[in-house]
Structure 1
Amino acid sequence: MNPIELSSQLRKPTGEAGKEIGKALNESNRGLYELAFEMMSLQKDDRVLEIGFGSGMHFPEYFRLQPRLTVTGIDFSKDMCEEAKAHNAELIASNKLSLHCEETSALPFSDNRFDLAVALNVIYFLDPPGVHLKEIHRVLKPGGMLLIGYRPRHTVEHLPFTKQNFILYEPDELKVLLSKNGLEATKEITRSHEKTSVDGVEVTVTDACLLVKKG
């Protein structure tokens, strides 16, 4: 797969190639998810929204941290929605998890609904970002939190597949963007490690998680 095709698949995994990308992302994003789950402070009966959940293999981890949650996922890839539904049939049947195949530019949820929104390796694809961030702000409860996982520009801009479809950010740029949309940074953690990227190259990456609060 050439860099342009890979970039397109990372944005929206589609077809059999997209399913393979989804599997590769489960491994590639493992460190970022581990960091994100460390940062979460989940309370019983919290309502959690995850944006861009991919194949959804990680959903059970939410309930290991806090069994009494309601988790909602939204992803605009039909194929990833189908994969995630197959992987999480039991959670869906028990009404702990619901999955929606929709765009984040017009979230199908009422105002002030969620305690926490989670978006890991998604911020690059929100274009224009303000439209999507305003929607996330709308559905968060007053004082609700958004947890963004991403890789800063300087750590990934050399990778060929980031040249298309990606809007990359440095930490200060991202904080300014979020502040303009009513979301103020409260905590940030970064962690660097060696990994194999989705195109099979050994790289050193920096995982960053930023926790922001609805003002």
Structure 2
Amino acid sequence: MEPKELSEQLKRPTGEAGLEVAKALNESNQGLYDLAFEMLDLKPNQNILEIGFGNGRHFSQYLEIEADLKLTGVDYSAYMCEEAKARNATLIDAGKLTIHCSETSSLPFKENEFDLITAINVIYFLDPPEPHLQEIRRVLKPGGSFLIGYRPRQSIEHLEFTRHNFLLYETDELIDLIISTGFSVSAQQTNNYEKKAQGGTTFEVSDAVLTAHKKN
């Protein structure tokens, strides 16, 4: 797959190629999800929204930590929404999970609805970011948490597909953006490791997570 096409599929998976990309993301993003889950403080009865859930593989991971949660997912790829519904049919039938196909810049929820909002490897595709972040803030409860998983610019800018459709951030730039849209940043954590590319060469990857809170 050409870099531009891959970038478009990463942004909005579509068709059979999108389903394959989503499967590959499950593996490549697992470390980032694991780091994010380490930083979560899940409590019973929380109302949680995940933005950009891909094929929905990770919804069950929330419930493995805390069984008494209400989960909602939003993704603007119709293919991913249908794949996630099929994959998580048991959770949906049990009333544990609701899936919505929607743009992040116009979320179909009332104000102050969610205790926690997560977005893993999504921030690059919010362009321009401010309308999306303002909408996320609108549906988050006062004092609620917004967890952002991402890879800093220096970690992935050498990958050719990131030259298309990606807005890349270093940590300080992302913190400034989050603060400017009405959040405070309470925690950050980074995990660095080596990964092998096609052809056998290795490169360093940084998984990073920020935890922000909606200011009252």
**TM-score, structure 1 length as denominator?**
0.97
8 A contact 1:117–1:145 mirrored in 2: yes
- For the structure 1 residues 67 and 7, does the alpha-carbon distance in structure 2 shift closer, same or farther, using more than 3 Å as the test? same
User: Partner residue of 1:211?
Assistant: 211
Q: Match of 2:42?
A: 42
Asked if residue 5 in structure 1 is aligned to residue 5 in structure 2, the reply is yes
Partner residue, 1:148 = 148
Counterparts of 1:98-137 in structure 2 under 5 Å?
A: 98-137=98-137
Cα distance in 2 for partners of 1:5, 1:94 equals 37
**What residue number does 1:187 align with?**
187
The separation in 1 between residues aligned to 2:165 and 2:159, in whole angstroms, is 13
Where does 1:20-99 land on structure 2 (aligned, <5 Å)? 20-99=20-99
TM-fit CA distance, 1:58: 1.0
Is the alpha carbon distance of 1:160 and 1:117 closer, same or farther for their aligned partners in structure 2, counting shifts above 3 Å? Answer: same
Q: CA 1:158–1:140 in 2, change beyond 3 Å: closer, same or farther?
A: same
Give the C-alpha shift of residue 202 in structure 1: 4.8
CA deviation after TM superposition for structure 1 residue 203, in Å: 3.4
- Are 1:148 and 1:209, in contact at CA under 8 Å, matched by a contact in 2? yes
Structure 1 position 32, deviation (Å): 0.2
Partner Cα separation in structure 2 for residue 198 and residue 86 of structure 1: 32
Deviations 1:105-153 (CA, angstroms, capped at 9, x unpaired): 0000000000000000000000110000000000000000100000000
Give the distance between the partners of 1:12 and 1:198, measured in 2 at CA. Answer: 24
Cα distance in 2 between the residues matched to 1:194 and 1:80: 29
Query: Which amino acid counterpart does residue 25 of structure 2 have in structure 1?
Result: L
Residues 129-187 of structure 1 deviation map (CA, whole Å, 9 limit, x = unaligned): 00000000000000001000000001110100000100000001001111110011100
The answer to whether structure 1 residue 175 and structure 2 residue 157 are counterparts is no
Question: Deviation of residue 30 (structure 1)?
Answer: 0.5
**Partners in 1 of 2:196 and 2:99 — Cα distance?**
29
Sequence identity of aligned pairs in percent?
57
Q: SS at the partner of 1:110?
A: coil
Give the stretch that moved more between structures: 197-206 or 87-96: 197-206
Distance 1:81 1:202, change over 3 A: farther
Q: Secondary structure at the match of 1:167?
A: coil
Say if 1:202 and 1:73 are closer, same or farther in 2 by CA, change over 3 A. farther
Q: Please give the TM-score of this superposition, normalised by the length of structure 2.
A: 0.96
Of 200-209 and 143-152, more deviation after overlay is shown by 200-209
Question: In 1, distance between residues paired with 2:80 and 2:69?
Answer: 22
- Residues 1:32 and 1:141: Cα distance change in structure 2 (over 3 Å): same
